[in-house]
Amino acid sequence: MASILLIDNQSDSRAWASQSLTDAGHHVVEAADARGALAALRDYRPDCVVLSLPVPNLENHGLPGYLARLGPRLPVVVLCDGPDAKMEAACERIAVRALAIRPVSAQTLQACVEKALVPALAPAAI
């Protein structure tokens, strides 16, 4: 299936999400913080990022900017407790293809990743 970079600072939820995605046949690389995520993005070419918000020091390490520069080539799934202004601002800067509000079931997580992996439609020819 796909290679997934999972970014979650909560070890229990990261382990659960990693297992759920692995059970669905994906290869998962984990990062616990923005610094680890940037290192993984430089060393590893994931097909998709699953970003569990909030992530401490997300802005300080420039992760949203880095993801924004990768643009639509790297789809992002965001998991969060609920929309707020800070989260919405972060999502606007990156190629968020799916958003899930916690608590999230394994089926919902897998569906979000599958949705994100569908290539964005090319602009229609004129």
pLDDT, one tens digit per residue, over 41-51 is: 989 889 999 99
Quote the distance between the C-alpha of residue 10 and its chain's center. Answer: 14
Are the CB atoms for 79 and 111 separated by under 8 Å? no
Just give the CATH number of 3-117: 3.40.50.2300
| 2 or 66, which is more confident | 2
* pLDDT cut 90: percent of the chain above it: 50
The sheet that has 27-31: what strands, in order across it?
27-31, 3-7, 48-52, 76-80, 96-101
Whether this model's pTM surpasses 0.85: yes
pLDDT, one tens digit per residue, over 66-75 is: 777 776 688 9
